[in-house]
Chain A
Amino acid sequence: MSLITVLWSMASAASLSLAVIHGMVWLSDRKVRAELWFALAALSMSAYPFFDLAMMRAESPEAFGEAARWALVPISLTIASVLLLVHSYFGTGRRWLLVTSLVTRALALGVNLLRPHGLFFESVTSLRKISFLGETVSAPAGEIGHWLWVEHVAALVWTGYFIDASWRLWRVGGGEGRRRVVTIGAGIVLIVTAGLTQASLVVAQVIALPVAVTMSFLLLLIVMGFELSRDVLRAAHLARSLQASEQRFEMAATAARLAPWEWNIATNLIWTTSDGRRIYGIPPDEEVDFQRFTETVHPDDRQAVAVEVERTLLDSTPFAAEYRVVLPDGAERWIAAAGRLERDPSGRPLLLRGVSLDITSRKQSEQELAQQRQDLTHLSRVSMLGELAGTIAHELNQPLAAILSNAQVGHSMIREGKVDLAEIEAIMEDVVSDAKRAGGIIHGMRAMFKKDAVMELQPVDLNDAVNQVCGLLHSEIVVKKARIELDLEEAPPQVMAGRVEIQQVLINLILNSLDAMKAAGSRDARIHISTRSAVGSVILSVRDNGPGIPAEMKARLFEAFVTTKPGGLGLGLAISHGIIRRFEGELSGENPPGGGALFRITLPAV
């Protein structure tokens, strides 16, 4: 077999192989269009060597003309495929230039097929025998085609397209883009131009070579194939490092006890790691949608979670929620979840992606801490009331004395038969109101002594609290020879707080004032209590005309175990401060101009 036949057949086979390989690549990932166009280019190209061979082996001018005429079909298809390849691979080509290139290409092919002897020759008059690779092959001689200019225009247009697309990629592409420009853009332009130039020169009989452009085009295919395989290699490399980074991420997430999740809103499927499934108590193979997730959440928390999700879908701010999950065995687990919403370009929610964190132990210690704090608050309240026992007993004895006395008067009236009904009615009225008064004191005391499992916040009228405390402390204040001045605003807004705790703070402040004024030997000791509503809050002030807060105490006023009282524990203000802070309010102390001490409780209004 001749060397030319072997080489040209191999070129065809090589092209076909490239076509098959890249066709398979495209089939496995259809998003990579460049692979498709390359496969088509290679496929078209694999047909061409046979036309080349037919031309070289042509025995008559007619046979040569026919071969040359049909050779333009695979060439045109190859060029069109390469055009489309570059368009998708570079991404910088102008669409109109691409369309123009394809149209002129098609025109040239059309003209070629319509002409009896093709585009290149008006007619092939004779064949020259020339020596090529040690063989004698045919080269054409004849009249140059009148329509050859169409082919030249088409070549000019698509060359222009390549140069334009390359130039634009060069400007914006960076390192990777520029390399593509050099290997593909410049390669195509040079090789195709060289091939066509050779063909044209052969046709014009300027040089003595056959019209064999196979090798030029094969070279082009190899260059482009190499470039594309670099992409495949890079994708494989990326896949490997992505896998490694995924493993690192999962390790980090596991170490941090974080469970990543992703809710695809369109398909309503939730993906999470095996840790995530474990935290929520979902079997490894079960499909999870939003409904299934909601079922794992504690019934008391479902509403709050649903509201948070809706809010996130609406305004795109980060999702954040803490809720309980009920495991299949009935155990509860606290979860903190945070995430972010992604939208598609049209603004529709696409997916919600985030992490879950098991915060059960944190919640438990938080609850224990809150319990301890509450125990301490209760203890301090009870001990404070213990100190007041004597005066509170007095407060209770007042109505009891009045009731007893009234009852005895009524009794003796009846016994002596001197019943004055109007007087009996007045007595009964007094007895009822005194009994109510005594009941009120006992009720208030019981509330103060009671220990709640959890502190419940409720709307509290600060004026009521002040009045009740003043009632309870009336005797204590009288004994300490002090006076209370009330300056309460008419119906201030209520505050969210614990009523008993607010009263505890108030009692603490009043007793502090009484002690300070007594220690200083104040004559005319006065405590001024006022309520005022401010913007979004209510301020309760307790001001005395005593010696004020000692300078050395000012900075450490609310620290525990800091006291000026002999025998005092120094817990009162620390606990009061803690109470007010739990109500999201503020307790401050200062020495106002004009003397005395001023304590201010600011609480957010309902």
Chain B
Amino acid sequence: MSPATPVVFIVDDDPSICRSLLRLVRQTGFEGHSYGSAEEFIEVQKGPLMRPACLVVDLQMPGLSGLELQQHLQQGAARCPMIFISGNGDIPSTVRAMKHGAVTFLTKPFDNADLLRAIGEALERHRAELSSDRQVRQVRDRMAELTERELQVMSWVITGALNKQIAAELDIVEKTVKVHRARVLEKMQAQSVAELVRLCSLAGFAAATSGSAVD
């Protein structure tokens, strides 16, 4: 399988369930891995996930339960969308799982189509998460190219301030501001100020506020 093949992790204490779901997942064309307990999964999957992935997890297992695994993963690197399966799903557990971002909750026995649909949704969600991660990294890389002064100018540009106002705030001539603005747009590969604003917000870059400039 190529490194880009989506991967589905199955965590269930019932080996027969694990085998049947692995078959389904592999038949569908995904990479599949199964684990007999939440602890085993945590032990094996430590690194960050670099390709679309999702977890199909049994709600009730000896040791850590599905919900506890969900909690554990929320802070971890191997975070990915989760699908809960259970032979005896109760409403409180379902609510808790969904509140913490579960994709869906299936009651055993379930139709393969339902599970595949949920897996598709989960992978899509993870793919989106992964791509947004990638964009931020790109924006940050571009930002790293900017000089101190260019960053200052950018922080003002995204507030929608005019060159004249920026010049006054930064105590530089308007022409210099114009040059900086052009270079910022070029380095950030933004076609317009509006796109720059989007990139900055994506990367969490804060806009300047009046009086914030120091020099």
Interface contact A398-B111, CB-CB below 8 Å: no
**Contacting residues, chain B, for A413 (C-beta < 8 A):** 27
Number of interface residues of B (CB under 8 A): 26
Interface contact A475-B16, CB-CB below 8 Å: no
Among the 9-residue stretches A120-128, A237-245, A403-411, the one with 4 or more Cβ atoms under 8 Å from chain B is: A403-411
Separation of A413 and B111 alpha carbons in the complex (Å): 16
Separation of A247 and B61 alpha carbons in the complex (Å): 81
5 contacts across the A-B interface (CB closer than 8 A) = A394-B87, A394-B108, A405-B24, A406-B20, A478-B62
Interface contact A395-B87, CB-CB below 8 Å: yes
A462-478 with Cβ < 8 A to chain B = 475, 477-478
A186 at the interface (CB under 8 A from B): no
A252 at the interface (CB under 8 A from B): no
A606 at the interface (CB under 8 A from B): no
Number of interface residues of A (CB under 8 A): 32
Q: How far is the CB of A400 from chain B (nearest CB, A)?
A: 4
Interface contact A412-B27, CB-CB below 8 Å: yes
B142 at the interface (CB under 8 A from A): no
**Contacting residues, chain A, for B27 (C-beta < 8 A):** 409, 412-413
B112 at the interface (CB under 8 A from A): yes
**Contacting residues, chain A, for B109 (C-beta < 8 A):** 397, 400-401, 403-405
B21 at the interface (CB under 8 A from A): yes
Interface contact A398-B17, CB-CB below 8 Å: yes
**Contacting residues, chain B, for A478 (C-beta < 8 A):** 13, 60-62
B14 at the interface (CB under 8 A from A): yes
Interface contact B108-A400, CB-CB below 8 Å: yes
Separation of A36 and B118 alpha carbons in the complex (Å): 121
Q: Mark B11-50, 1 if CB is under 8 A from A, else 0.
A: 0011011011101100100000000000000000000000
Interface contact B88-A404, CB-CB below 8 Å: no
Interface contact B24-A430, CB-CB below 8 Å: no
The 5 closest A-B pairs by CB, nearest first: A394-B87, A397-B87, A401-B108, A394-B88, A401-B109
Interface contact B16-A402, CB-CB below 8 Å: yes
Q: Most chain-A Cβ atoms within 10 A of its Cβ — which of B14, B21, B86?
A: B14
A355-413 with Cβ < 8 A to chain B = 390-391, 393-406, 408-409, 412-413
A223 at the interface (CB under 8 A from B): no
Q: How far is the CB of B23 from chain A (nearest CB, A)?
A: 5
Separation of A464 and B109 alpha carbons in the complex (Å): 28
Given known contacts A401-B87, A401-B110, A409-B27, is B19 in contact with A394 (CB within 8 Å)? no
Q: With contacts defined as CB atoms under 8 Å apart, how many contacts are there between chain A and chain B in the complex?
A: 84
Interface contact B88-A402, CB-CB below 8 Å: no
* Chain B residues engaging chain A, CB cutoff 8 angstroms: 13-14, 16-17, 19-21, 23-24, 27, 60-62, 65, 85-88, 107-113, 115
Q: Closest B-chain residue to A418, C-beta based?
A: B27
**Contacting residues, chain B, for A393 (C-beta < 8 A):** 87-88
**Contacting residues, chain A, for B16 (C-beta < 8 A):** 398-399, 402, 430, 433-434, 437
Q: Most chain-B Cβ atoms within 10 A of its Cβ — which of A396, A402, A404, A405?
A: A405
Separation of A550 and B34 alpha carbons in the complex (Å): 44
Q: Closest A-chain residue to B16, C-beta based?
A: A402
Separation of A391 and B60 alpha carbons in the complex (Å): 10
**Contacting residues, chain A, for B61 (C-beta < 8 A):** 478
Q: How far is the CB of A207 from chain B (nearest CB, A)?
A: 130
A479 at the interface (CB under 8 A from B): yes
Q: How far is the CB of B135 from chain A (nearest CB, A)?
A: 37
Q: How far is the CB of B66 from chain A (nearest CB, A)?
A: 11
Interface contact B23-A402, CB-CB below 8 Å: no
**Contacting residues, chain B, for A270 (C-beta < 8 A):** none
Q: How far is the CB of B79 from chain A (nearest CB, A)?
A: 25
A57 at the interface (CB under 8 A from B): no
Interface contact A404-B110, CB-CB below 8 Å: yes
Separation of A475 and B107 alpha carbons in the complex (Å): 15
Interface contact B23-A397, CB-CB below 8 Å: no
**Contacting residues, chain B, for A427 (C-beta < 8 A):** 23
Interface contact A409-B20, CB-CB below 8 Å: yes
Interface contact B17-A404, CB-CB below 8 Å: no
Separation of A434 and B108 alpha carbons in the complex (Å): 14
Contact of B24 among A399, A409, A479 (CB under 8 A): A409
**Contacting residues, chain B, for A277 (C-beta < 8 A):** none
Please give 10 more A-B residue pairs, beta carbons under 8 A apart, in addition to A401-B20, A405-B109.
A396-B87, A403-B20, A405-B115, A409-B20, A409-B24, A412-B112, A430-B20, A434-B16, A437-B16, A479-B60
Separation of A434 and B87 alpha carbons in the complex (Å): 15
**Contacting residues, chain B, for A402 (C-beta < 8 A):** 14, 16-17, 19-20
Q: Closest B-chain residue to A416, C-beta based?
A: B27
A483 at the interface (CB under 8 A from B): yes
**Contacting residues, chain B, for A394 (C-beta < 8 A):** 60, 86-88, 108
Given known contacts A413-B27, A427-B23, A475-B87, is B112 in contact with A401 (CB within 8 Å)? no
**Contacting residues, chain B, for A405 (C-beta < 8 A):** 17, 20-21, 23-24, 109, 112, 115
Contact of B23 among A390, A395, A423, A437 (CB under 8 A): A423
Q: Closest A-chain residue to B25, C-beta based?
A: A409
Separation of A10 and B51 alpha carbons in the complex (Å): 150
Q: Closest B-chain residue to A423, C-beta based?
A: B23
Interface contact A397-B111, CB-CB below 8 Å: no
